[in-house]
Amino acid sequence: MSSLPLQCGFLVVVAAALLCHFVFKRHEPTSPLSHLGLLVVVPAILTTLFLPNASTFTHAFSCVYILYYSTVLVSVTLYRLSPWHPLARYPGPIPCRISKFWMVWVSRDGKQHIYYSRLHQTYGDVVRIGPNELSIRDVNAVVPLMGSNGMPKGPHWDGRMAEQSATRTVISVRDSVEHARRRKPWHRAFSVAALKGYEEILGKRVQQFVTILEQQTQPFNLAERINHFTFGGGSEMLRDGDKDNTWHLLESGLPTALVLSHVPWLGKYYANLPGIGEGLKTFRTFCQERAILRRSAGSLSRDLFHYLIDEAGLERHTSPPTFAEVASDGVLAIVAGSDTTATTLSSLFLSLLRNPQTYYRLQAEVDSFFPPGEDLLSTVHHPHMIFSNETLRLFPPVLSGSQRGVPRGGDDKFVGPYFLPEGTNAFVHTYSLHRDPRNFSPSPDTFWPERWLKPEERAGLLSFDPKGLDKFPIVHDTKAFVPFSFGPMHCVGKQLAYQELRMVVCAMMCRLNFSFAPGYDPESWERDFKDYFVSTKGSLQVVLSPRNLTA
Ligand code: HEM
């Protein structure tokens, strides 16, 4: 090539690379075929322009690829940092503004909730945590973002669900109309009548759990036992422990799922790589098999699956759930219901043992409602509520909230005072909101269940305030309490979770005395509490003794 054609050749490569950036920006293609076309085929064709003048094919090939990729990278970086980017008005660290791979790196150790919290302390209520993503710590954003006129789910589920994209679980359905259709059986499954029906099933399991605990004479990991309890009926884990390594499979898949939620387009590659992500796939298959088995066995009692499968045939003439949908939601029923509730229960016991006066107050309250001879599993009394809420405030099992997104090609949105252009994803950062003194004061980081009481109720308690917190002005904004998320896509299992917490807490407090095992460091709980969308936890070593109360 003479010097002019060579320059032209370079210009063509640069122009093609800029066009490639434009296509990615405009359409965000996620299919491997379009990636192949734009990132491999186009520069390969361009290589032919240089072949006549290049000394070797390798030389031409490497020149074109280096130029093409560097131009794409520089163009993407400059654009994302430029004042022309639609999110330029929102502050955030430079690496976050350039690429979501930064969050992949940050979140690898499970501490992304602490990272977001620090970002909010530095940058304020809205932080740009990705090129097109915002974290919000403002109670006024909850309703506009997640309420009935809010936004559909964001793309963070796309990467996790890549290999089963044909039939997604309800939690990952992004189209709001389809989501509402898929939620119908779940609504029936958690109606007042259905919840009443679960009491007996749950009651038997709670009895079994407490009886197993009573036999425990040595220090043990209470958090692990609680995992086995919440894993659900039909599983022998409660009696035999995690013999099949099922819980481990569930938890070991969570870090990868979190990575894929930051870079959803990677999910399609990941799902097809042989030997990768086997743990998660095995776990999903395990859950699906159980759903399928349960379906073919038919109803013995009106359990959750009775409603999910629509065994009563209520949707026969409209849109009955398909077999694939039931199998897919079967996985969700196990994952969403077990890990979250287990974490809350364990965090509650940790917090009670750290605050002995509160522990004894709850125990006295439970004893007064359930004197010896009273049915421990009766659901008439609710002594647990403020304790559960305070635990969920400090240790929400979904620490960073659930993402919403303004669809690309859709209308721009205002979320309260914040402008969200099309293609923007956002979430309300639950952990930061729950520990913000503007929402919960005094001492938002302290476990103080009495903050949930009305002033007149607090005044009626003698030892309600061991820390002297009541002397300070109290701020208590329940609109900022969103452990179950909010709006039409919020946690549909919330009432079941409360029902389960109430029954187990009452039964455990009535029948057993707990204390930390010698040498256990309670500070390790917060250290080991990790954000992998659903949180994971460390151990909670305790010793216990039966209370032997007699009528
Ligand atoms: C303390 C316990 C629990 C907590 C903190 C919790 C929290 C959450 C959160 C934050 C979401 C995301 C909602 C969103 O995308 O906006 C969710 C979704 C969901 N949870 Fe729970 N959950 C708990 C227990 C349960 C239980 C016991 C079940 C019953 C099986 C359950 C079933 C579901 C389902 C089906 C969804 C998807 C809802 C949808 O997308 O429409 N959860 N949960």
Closest CA relative to residue 470, chosen from 448, 500, 490, 485: 448
In 10 A of CB 505, how many CB atoms? 23
CA 351 to centroid of ligand 1, rounded, Å: 23
Query: pLDDT value at position 1?
Result: 45
Q: d(Cα 244, Cα 193) in Å, to the nearest integer?
A: 35
Tell me the H-state helices in 263-404.
266-272, 278-297, 304-308, 323-354, 356-369, 385-394
* Cα(515)–Cα(112) distance, integer angstroms: 31
ipTM beyond 0.95? yes
DSSP string, 91-123: ---HHHHH-THHHHHHHTTS-HHHHHHHHHHHH
Distance (angstroms) between ligand 1 centre and the Cα of 287 equals 17
Gyration radius of the chain over CA positions = 27
Ligand 1 atom nearest to 334, measured from its CA: 30
Q: How many CA atoms lie within 13 A of 9 on its CB side?
A: 23
Backbone dihedral region of 538: left (phi > 0), alpha (psi from -120 to 50 degrees) or beta? beta
Q: What is the pLDDT along the chain (551 residues), one digit of tens a residue?
A: 444 467 788 899 999 999 999 999 988 888 889 999 999 999 999 998 877 777 788 888 898 999 999 999 999 999 999 999 999 999 999 999 999 999 999 999 999 999 999 999 999 999 999 999 999 999 999 999 999 999 999 999 887 765 554 678 889 899 999 999 889 889 988 998 888 888 888 888 898 899 999 989 999 999 999 988 887 544 455 555 555 666 666 677 788 888 889 998 888 787 777 766 666 677 777 777 777 777 777 766 677 778 887 776 776 667 777 777 877 787 788 778 888 999 999 999 999 999 998 999 889 888 887 766 666 555 555 566 889 999 999 999 999 999 999 998 888 999 988 999 999 999 999 999 999 999 999 999 999 998 998 887 777 665 556 667 777 788 999 999 999 999 999 999 999 999 889 889 989 998 899 999 999 999 999 999 999 998 999 999 999 998 876 55
Alpha-carbon distance 73 to 289, whole Å?
A: 45
Pocket test for ligand 1, best of 231, 294, 491, 529 (most atoms within 8 A of CB): 491
Global confidence as pTM: 0.90
284 CA → ligand 1 middle, Å: 18
Ligand 1 centroid to Cα of residue 397, in Å, is 10
For residue 62, list its beta bridge partners.
none
Q: Is the separation of the CB atoms in 387 and 352 below 8 Å?
A: yes
- 348: CA distance to ligand 1 center in Å? 18
Determine the pLDDT at residue 4. Answer: 46
> What does each C-alpha distance from 513 to 352, 388, 492, 546 come to in angstroms?
12, 19, 33, 6
**Alpha-carbon distance 514 to 517, whole Å?**
9
Q: How far is the CA of 488 from the centre of ligand 1 (A)?
A: 12
State residue 233's pLDDT score. 46
Top mutation candidate among 142, 151, 340, 430 for ligand 1, by most atoms within 8 Å of CB: 340
Residue whose structure tokens are 């609109």: 479
CA separation for the pair 517, 220 (Å, rounded)? 8
Q: Look at residues 94, 153, 118 and name the one whose alpha carbon lies nearest to residue 429.
A: 118
Closest CA to 533 of 397, 436, 431: 397
Give the binding-site residues of ligand 1, using a 6 Å CB cut-off.
Answer: 170-171, 183, 186, 332-333, 336-337, 340-341, 344, 397-398, 402, 483-485, 489-493, 496-497
Give nearest CA residue, ligand 1 atom 23: 340
Q: Is 470 exposed, middle or buried (0-12, 13-18, 19+ CB in 10 A)?
A: middle
The burial class, CB within 10 Å (0-12 / 13-18 / 19+), for 503 is: buried
**How close are the terminal C-alpha atoms of the chain, in Å?**
100
Q: Which residues are annotated as a binding site for heme?
A: 491
CB within 8 Å of 232: residues ≥ 6 apart: 333, 334, 337, 338
Closest C-alpha to ligand 1, atom 11: 491
- Among 306, 283, 336, 340, which Cα is nearest to 171's? 336
Q: CA–CA separation, 62 vs 44, rounded Å?
A: 10
Q: What pLDDT shows up at residue 225? A: 92
Contacts (Cβ under 8 Å, ≥6 apart) of 247: 227, 228, 231, 237
Q: Determine the 3-state secondary structure of 266 from DSSP.
A: helix
Number of H-type helices and E-type strands within the chain: 24, 13
Token representation of residue 289: 């098999």
Residue nearest to atom 6 of ligand 1 (CA): 484
> Hey, whose CA ends up nearest to atom 1 of ligand 1?
341
The answer to whether the beta carbons of residues 70 and 10 sit under 8 Å apart is no
CA–centroid distance, 534 to ligand 1, in Å, is 10
How far apart, in whole angstroms, are the C-alpha atoms of residue 542 and residue 529? 18
Q: How many angstroms separate the CA atoms of 126 and 533, rounded?
A: 20
Cross-strand pairs, 541:
221
Q: Which atom of ligand 1 is nearest to the CA of 329?
A: 35
Distance of alpha carbon 500 from alpha carbon 336, whole angstroms: 14
